[in-house]
């Protein structure tokens, strides 16, 4: 595969075989501040790094002689069929990685027929994203702001545009301390903005945090806000950022439609559990009453298989999506998703699973190392 840098310099031959290849390409070609922003974890990055290491502590118990000549990776999320159980997690500022930004992300996920959770902090508007991939299956990730009207307005916008669920992110009452962003004094370049709030904050002077005025998020958010959100929309509400069985039970009691087990890519509280390590207790608590998903640390098809074996209905990728964009925009992200799909199908077959329904906890053992 021939790749050229964007300035039209020399071309080199490089086979993009796995997600790590895309990571290395992105690190080499993105500016330092942009790479640091995407790669950042909170504080000492222990949780960010453990999101990856935790999968290596899990072993598969493959079954053999199971006739895996035909395999089926399809599944459903919230009643909608997707081609395989990997979607795109909400990540901000895709235009930093590729000039078309979230528009390219939307097209890639539409082409692969999977779920794209659009971030509030997109550098394309929810309208632009919907127009770019009119048949795409999209959810919208939401924060609750001190000014509830801001949240309410965007909820009504996405509902009118055909987004199919709201993903309420609950682990950011305050932004985690990301040391490299502080050192780099990270700011969006002047030509980019948080498009969903274009014009909303024009009057406001003062400190900014990731493209909008500081102290805009509401740290008083509580379970009553879940009821408030349900009162203003017909869309299912999925909570992202749960890591304990206690909060999983409360989520069920509050009538949400799903949980995304997530530590925000290790960008919020450092020292919390890896997402995959928190999954089992949440699945055991929920007992199938609502769907449970996961993000954080997915890098291979066998990671997907392990997460499904432990009870996740679907997983979502964050940083790898951005690496795909940095490589070749829509085409690069399609390659990332296709590689994960192919690896997942192969891991399923080599473990003796013909379809997603055959994946269960008997497939898993934990390493004694």
Q: Going residue by residue through the chain, which has 369 residues, state the pLDDT in tens, using 9 for 90 and above.
A: 444 444 444 444 578 999 999 999 999 999 999 999 999 999 999 999 999 999 999 999 999 999 999 999 999 999 999 999 999 999 999 999 999 999 999 999 999 999 999 999 999 999 999 999 999 999 999 999 999 999 999 999 999 999 999 999 999 999 999 999 999 999 999 999 999 998 787 555 567 888 888 888 999 999 999 999 999 999 999 999 999 999 999 999 999 999 999 999 999 999 999 999 999 999 999 999 999 999 999 999 999 999 999 999 999 999 999 999 999 999 999 999 999 999 999 999 999 999 999 999 999 998 665
Q: Can you give the pLDDT at residue 206?
A: 67
Is 119 annotated to bind a ligand? Reply is yes
Pull the structure tokens for residue 111. Answer: 């082409």
Of the candidates 360, 331, 336, 274, the residue with the CA atom closest to the CA atom of residue 88:
336
Q: Can you give the pLDDT at residue 366?
A: 84
In a domain, 5, yes or no: no
Is 225 annotated to bind a ligand? Reply is no
Q: Can you give the pLDDT at residue 205?
A: 57
Residue carrying the six token digits 């999506």: 321
Domain count, the chain: 1
Residue 113 CB: number of other CB atoms within 10 A?
Answer: 16
In a domain, 245, yes or no: yes
Is 92 annotated to bind a ligand? Reply is yes
Q: Can you give the pLDDT at residue 283?
A: 98
CATH number at residue 231: 3.20.20.70
In a domain, 3, yes or no: no
213 forms beta bridges with 208
Domain region containing 54 = 19-366
Rounded to whole angstroms, how far apart are CA atoms 84 and 314?
A: 8
The SS3 of residue 355 is strand
Tell me the CA distances in angstroms from 248 to 76, 137, 144, 234, 330, one per residue in order.
Answer: 21, 25, 20, 22, 35
In a domain, 13, yes or no: no
Maximum pairwise Cα distance, the chain: 67
Is 114 annotated to bind a ligand? Reply is no
Tell me the CA distances in angstroms from 136 to 25, 164, 289, one per residue in order.
Answer: 28, 10, 27
Q: Can you give the pLDDT at residue 1?
A: 46
In a domain, 194, yes or no: yes
Cβ burial of 304 (10 Å; 0-12, 13-18, 19+) is buried
| CA-angle at 174, arms to 170 and 180, nearest 5° | 115
Q: Can you give the pLDDT at residue 212?
A: 83
In a domain, 128, yes or no: yes
Is 90 annotated to bind a ligand? Reply is yes
In a domain, 2, yes or no: no
- Report the catalytic residues: 264
Is 143 annotated to bind a ligand? Reply is yes
Q: Can you give the pLDDT at residue 320?
A: 98
Q: Can you give the pLDDT at residue 202?
A: 59
Q: Can you give the pLDDT at residue 10?
A: 41
In a domain, 6, yes or no: no
């Amino acid at each position: 595969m021939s790749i050229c840098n964007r300035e039209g310099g020399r071309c080199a031959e490089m086979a993009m075989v796995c997600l790590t290849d895309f990571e290395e390409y992105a690190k080499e070609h993105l500016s330092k501040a942009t790479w640091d922003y995407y790669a950042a974890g909170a504080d000492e990055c222990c949780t960010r790094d453990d999101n990856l290491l935790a999968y290596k502590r899990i072993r598969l118990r493959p079954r053999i002689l199971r006739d895996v000549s035909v395999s089926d990776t399809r599944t459903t999320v919230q009643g909608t069929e997707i081609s395989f159980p990997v979607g795109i997690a909400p990540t901000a500022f895709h235009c930093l990685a590729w000039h078309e930004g979230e528009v390219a992300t939307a097209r890639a996920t539409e082409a692969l027929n999977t779920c794209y959770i659009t971030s509030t902090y997109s550098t394309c508007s929810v309208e632009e994203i919907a127009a770019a991939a009119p048949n795409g299956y999209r959810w919208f990730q939401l924060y609750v702001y001190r000014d509830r009207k801001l949240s309410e307005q965007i909820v009504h916008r996405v509902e009118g545009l055909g987004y199919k669920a709201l993903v309420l992110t609950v682990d950011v009452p305050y932004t985690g301390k990301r040391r490299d962003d502080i050192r780099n004094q990270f700011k969006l370049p002047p030509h980019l903005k948080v498009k969903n709030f274009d014009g909303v904050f024009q009057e406001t002077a003062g400190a900014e945090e990731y493209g909008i005025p500081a102290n805009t998020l509401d740290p008083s958010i509580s379970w009553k806000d879940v009821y408030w959100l349900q009162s203003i929309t017909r869309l299912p509400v999925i909570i992202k950022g749960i890591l304990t069985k206690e909060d999983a039970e409360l989520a069920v009691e509050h009538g949400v439609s799903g949980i995304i087990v997530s530590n925000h890519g290790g960008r919020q509280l450092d020292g919390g559990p890896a997402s995959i390590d928190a999954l089992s207790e949440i699945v055991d608590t929920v007992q199938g009453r609502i769907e449970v998903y996961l993000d954080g640390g997915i890098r291979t098809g066998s990671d997907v298989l392990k997460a499904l074996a432990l009870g996740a209905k679907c997983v979502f990728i964050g940083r790898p999506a951005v690496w795909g964009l940095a490589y070749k925009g829509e085409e690069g992200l399609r390659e990332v998703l296709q590689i994960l799909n192919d690896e997942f199908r192969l891991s399923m077959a080599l473990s003796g699973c013909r379809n997603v329904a055959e994946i269960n906890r008997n497939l898993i053992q934990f390493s004694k190392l």
